[in-house]
Amino acid sequence: MNRITTDICIIGAGSAGLSVAAGAVQMGAKVVLIEGHKMGGDCLNYGCVPSKALIASAKQAYAMEHGAPLGIAAAKAQVDYAAAKDHIADVIATIAPVDSVERFEGLGVQVIQDFARFISRTEVQAGDTIVTARRFVVATGSGPLVPPIPGLADVTYYTNETLFDLREKPNHLIIIGGGPIGMEMAQAHRRLGCDVTVIEGAQALGKDDPETAAIVLNRLRDEGVRLIEDAHASRVSSKDNLITVHTPKGDIAGSHLLIAVGRKVNVEKLDLDKAGVAHDTKGLKVGTNLRSVTNRRVYAAGDVAGGLHFTHVAGYHASVLIRSLVLGLPSRQRTDHIPWATYTDPELAQVGLTEAQAKKKFGTKLEVIRTDFHHNDRLIAERKANGLIKVMVVRGRPVGVSIAGPMAGELIAVWAMAIANRMKMSAIATTVLPYPTVNEVNKRAAGAYFSPRLFENPIVKRVVGLVQRFLP
């Protein structure tokens, strides 16, 4: 049995683990990184990267068939589904070296490619190696949640971990789950020529602002995605090469089935109890400093920290941990400034509080600024001027922003920065932007906050009248 002693032992080479490892080792800490599956984790191999690559293929197919408003004759897209999957594989291969064993060993990280489990409060074992560390970071991420639907185990179904290996284009893809993954894959497959039905037990995109979510859902319906809400899948059956999902609202039969109902954290193989680390189905129980409440040597980062399941949150957790683990400085996470985006077309993005959440928290102190995209010259030129931005403002500062429209995932960045740094609406309103750009949507929203204060205020009008009388 080999034995290693190190400063920091990281379990999991996804976004959080890789970021902690790279930062810590380059600042002088001794780091051991343990990964039992693929370097890069879910995001690179099964999540963000392959899904956005498939969405890019679908967007190209859609553009070929919808050029008439721009004076371009429509052409029927000849979709090669297998070639689209080759495109995905190439994108992953292009990015993979950044997350590779070779790169991290080159940085000075000792990488062990095996599954890790705790054997005591101060040790983990991976294969024939035991690692003793001053601090441990659990960054094992999450995987697809497969619900106990009767009959599901008897049919072939896909999750995000297997969908991108499928090379046969589905004739009719049934998706159970109307969250971001489900809706992104629904639109992408519809644009690639598949019939698509989404079954959602509650409301599709239910964690987002319902008004902005409706813009996206209406677009998907217009494109031919069949959306059945408030319908739980009661059972699944198979006959004559068709899979049937039985619901209270009727039976839906299709050629392929995708399960996209949520995520479960990857902690079952860790033997956390042997390390005295409290945990539940949401992950490790940690404080705002991401430190285990029952074993001070253990920290969590990313999905297993029990919060939002986003790659950028994992990266943010890494920055919090590097400050405390490497530099010994107090560091805590916050969540009010965390944005997220759903990469449908149009996109859907959120940061901070939704309108409903802000009303509940601030009551009459809240102002809601609403601006549509219809006046954005850049989007008018591209025939894409359909969208909505809502800014929740309290005492001159944004506390939440909801956006549905083209490039919403890019537009939300300004507001994430504003909320993170407690900037006022005036900082957005006074920013000079190049013309014409989509980001003028943000400036227009900030301007809409000040317009009634300047143009509808009788006091301002009287002051201006006096100034005009006395100006030379």
pLDDT of residue 436: 97
Mean pLDDT within 324-329: 94
The confidence score (pLDDT) of residue 224 equals 98
Q: Is 131 exposed, middle or buried (0-12, 13-18, 19+ CB in 10 A)?
A: buried
- For residue 313, the tally of other CB atoms under 10 A from its CB is 22
Residue 456 has pLDDT above 80, yes or no: no
CA distances from 77 to 59, 62, 226 (A): 11, 8, 21
At residue 225, the pLDDT reads: 98
Q: For the domain with range 152-261, which CATH number is right: 3.50.50.60, 2.60.120.10, 3.90.70.10, 3.40.50.2300?
A: 3.50.50.60
> Over the chain, what is the mean pLDDT?
96
Rounded Cα gap, residues 242 and 234, in angstroms: 17
Mean pLDDT of 249-263: 97
User: What token pair was written down for 87?
Assistant: 């495109």
In tens, the pLDDT along 348-358 reads 999 999 999 99
Instruction: Say if 2-39+100-144+264-326 and 152-261 have the same CATH topology.
Output: yes
pLDDT in tens, 141-190: 999 999 999 999 999 999 999 999 999 999 999 999 999 999 999 999 99
Per-residue pLDDT band at 470 (split at 50, 70, 90): confident
- pLDDT tens digits for range 266-318: 999 999 999 999 999 999 999 999 999 999 999 999 999 999 999 999 999 99
The strand pair at 388-394 and 123-126 is best described as unpaired
Q: What is the pLDDT of residue 405?
A: 98
Predicted local distance difference test score (pLDDT) of residue 467: 84
Residue 156 pLDDT: 96
Q: Which of 212, 43, 35 is nearest to 138 (CA)?
A: 35
Query: Strand 242-247 and strand 250-254: pairing?
Result: antiparallel
12 within 8 A of 41, measured Cβ to Cβ? yes
Q: What is the mean pLDDT of residues 11-29?
A: 97
Architecture of domain 2-39+100-144+264-326: 3-Layer(bba) Sandwich (3.50)
Contact (CB, 8 A) for 393 and 366? yes
Q: What is the pLDDT of residue 362?
A: 97
CA distance 445 to 368: 10
pLDDT digits (tens, 9 = 90+) for 78-101: 999 999 999 999 999 999 999 999
Query: How is the chain split into domains, by residue range?
Result: 2-39+100-144+264-326, 152-261, 339-455
Provide the edge-to-edge strand list for the sheet that holds 339-342: 339-342, 347-352, 397-405, 388-394, 366-372
Quick one: what percent of the chain has pLDDT higher than 90? Answer: 94
Which tens digit of pLDDT belongs to each residue from 383-417? 999 999 999 999 999 999 999 999 999 999 999 99
* CATH code given to domain 339-455: 3.30.390.30
- 183-234 pLDDT, tens digit each: 999 999 999 999 999 999 999 999 999 999 999 999 999 999 999 999 999 9
